[in-house]
Amino acid sequence: MHKPSILIVDDEKAARYGMKKILQKDTHTVYEAKDGTDAIQIIKTHHPSLVFLDINMPQLDGMKTMEKS
């Protein structure tokens, strides 16, 4: 059976850390990205089942990240 994977995209490290700690308890594979550019690479490479995406980020915000991925 395929293990669900989750991508957490947030420019705040503490926010990513907190979500990751909770989600890993349920044995999900959890990826992290600090910005939209990293997120697009992870999406193309790993095809996560679910993405938690911060809308307000410097450089490439959440809305532009969705458009490009």
pLDDT for position 2: 66
pLDDT for position 63: 86
Domain ranges of the chain: 1-50
Q: Which residues, at least 6 apart from 2, have a Cβ–Cβ distance to it below 8 Å?
A: none
pLDDT for position 5: 92
pLDDT for position 53: 94
Residue 41, CB half-sphere, CA atoms under 13 Å: how many? 9
DSSP for the chain, please give it.
Answer: -PPPEEEEE-S-HHHHHHHHHHHHTTT-EEEEESSHHHHHHHHHHH--SEEEE-S--SSS-HHHHHHH-
pLDDT for position 13: 94
10-residue mean pLDDT series, the chain (69 residues)? 85 93 84 94 94 90 86
pTM: 0.86
Pick the CATH number of 1-50 from 2.115.10.20, 3.40.50.12780, 3.40.50.2300, 3.30.720.120: 3.40.50.2300
